[in-house]
Amino acid sequence: MGGDSWAAATATVAIESGKLQGVAANGVVSYKGIPYAAPPVGNLRWRKPQPAPAWRGVRRAEHYGHDCMQQPFDGDAAPLGTTPAEDCLVLNVWRPLAASARPLPVMVWIHGGGFVNGGASPSTYAGDAFARQDVIFVSFNYRLGRFGFFGFPALSKADADHGLLGNYGYMDQIAALQWVQKNVAAFGGDPANVTLFGESAGGGSVHMLTTSPMAKGLFARAIIQSGGGRDNLMGKRDLRHDQPELPSSETLGLVLARKHGITGTGPAALARLRALPAQALTNGLNMATMWEADDYGGPMIDGRIVRTSPQEACLAGSQARIPLMIGANSADIGFGDARSKDEAFAAFGDHATAARAAYDPDGSADLASLNMVIGADRMMVEPARFVAATVSKQGLPVYAYRFSYVADSMRTQWPTGAPHATEIPYVMNTVTAKYAGALTDRDADVASQVNRYWANFAKTGNPNAAGLPEWPRYDAHQDTLMNFDADGVPKAQPDAWKVRLDLTAATQ
């Protein structure tokens, strides 16, 4: 059968749940809104994901399904393309239209959004560019906010899911990866060659999945974009046990119940919580308000899925022993609340004088900027470097990067470097969707290069290929990373921030 005939015949694929009809355009076939689990509504709210119901006939996979329930916020760098709803456990697949003689590598994307926002529908997350490089691309939704991360005594007592409690959003991520293992071959993908990647909360999720026994064997490579690497991104909150100034998720669940006039800790109270309208549970929770919430704490240590932090796992060598790409942006996210420069540098302890020399050598830095830079180093930049160094010393292939490129149209707005999440349209090569008429040739060239590096890594575990500047494997002694520089030319160079990151590492 010729290539065109094969493509036409296989635009319809058969998976576990039934047949799907994809949409072919510009050399790519996409399949959107595929259920990978049953809708988590009614009595399935706060349960591990259940199998997706089968369907008869051919399901048309033309449109994204609902993104998971949330309160969108102004200024989101990746605005949703659908209306959020609780019925949201769907995924999307892109594949090349032409036939392949052998199974293709697979990339699975986990979106960010602080575990309270985000979804798979934003146009900047589309997988067409990867499909054109002969990669099967998969994106999916996972439960967020109080739907995705929740503890309550009645859930623990009933234990219908045999100890799988609390981290329902993480359970969804694992279920999506299990779906890939069972079904991606139908799209031409190789289930033994899956690269998991994500950014921010998605990057933190990749960290978690590399350390979780529940995810063992579900992927062969990992890419972590601005995902931290020391503590769990949302801290060391426990499912059941309160800590000083860090109440357990069950305690937070009781606070939430009381706010809705629900008392007790048993099945009747849980039934009333499950009957609450989705909007009442969301109650304005998003990236802008989450730090003020006293009834929500995000992911937790549950003992089954999350057992430890990335730092502890890396130091013990107990993380998945797979090739890794990891990095952060040059003006990444971070938080600091020092009330003076002296207070900011005092946090470095015995290294306060050295920190002042590294961060503010001429005394001209303003306090707000200083807090942000020190915060970003602590939260994103140094942790990525720590993971790269620790894992590379174990003999595993690691490729470290810093993304410093700023779109030409945004340089006056972002003079200090590339903000958090701004690398994503370059990774996905969706800069046309992001910047539209303001896109320059240089922006497009950078996106083409970055997308090729990521695709190469998914294919071979090495980002290099002919026509691209050489990206050396990370070595902690040389401390060389690939800097996607402001001038648009990727450069392999020793980390220019070594002095200040060494100081940060000494006080982490």
Specify the DSSP class assigned to residue 124: G
pLDDT in tens, 47-97: 999 999 999 999 999 999 999 999 998 888 899 999 999 999 999 999 999
pLDDT in tens, 455-496: 999 999 999 999 999 999 999 999 999 999 999 999 999 999
DSSP string for 311-360: HHHHHHT-S--S-EEEEEETB-------SSHHHHHHTTGGGHHHHHHHH-
In a domain, 471, yes or no: no
What distances in angstroms separate CA 28 from CA 93, 112, 126, 133, one per listed residue?
A: 10, 25, 11, 10
Specify the DSSP class assigned to residue 165: -
In a domain, 450, yes or no: no
pLDDT at 278: 98
In a domain, 257, yes or no: yes
Q: Total structural domains in the chain?
A: 1
In a domain, 92, yes or no: yes
Global model pTM greater than 0.95: yes
What distances in angstroms separate CA 366 from CA 183, 209, 361, 370, 416, one per listed residue?
A: 53, 39, 12, 6, 13
Burial 323-357 (b: 16+ CB within 10 A, else e): bbbbbbbbbbbbebebeebeebbeebeebbebbbe
Tokens of 61: 């996979």
pLDDT at 5: 45
- How many beta carbons lie within 10 A of that of residue 480, not counting itself? 17
Cβ neighbours of residue 382 closer than 8 Å, sequence gap 6 or more:
230, 501, 504, 505, 508
pLDDT in tens, 332-351: 999 999 999 999 999 999 99
In a domain, 386, yes or no: no
Task: Please tell me the distance from the alpha carbon of residue 3 to that of residue 97, in angstroms, as a whole number.
Answer: 9
Please return the burial class of 100, using the count of CB atoms within 10 Å of its CB with bins 0-12, 13-18 and 19+. middle
In a domain, 288, yes or no: yes
Q: Which domain holds residue 44?
A: 1-322
Cβ neighbours of residue 423 closer than 8 Å, sequence gap 6 or more:
199, 225, 226, 329, 403, 405, 450, 484
pLDDT in tens, 212-244: 999 999 999 999 999 999 998 888 999 999 998
Task: Please tell me the distance from the alpha carbon of residue 49 to that of residue 43, in angstroms, as a whole number.
Answer: 12
Per-residue pLDDT band for 159 (boundaries 50, 70, 90) equals: confident
What CATH number has the domain bearing residue 85?
A: 3.40.50.1820
pLDDT at 10: 54
In a domain, 409, yes or no: no
Pick the range with the lowest mean pLDDT from 7-21, 210-224, 339-353, 494-508: 7-21
pLDDT at 394: 97
In a domain, 108, yes or no: yes
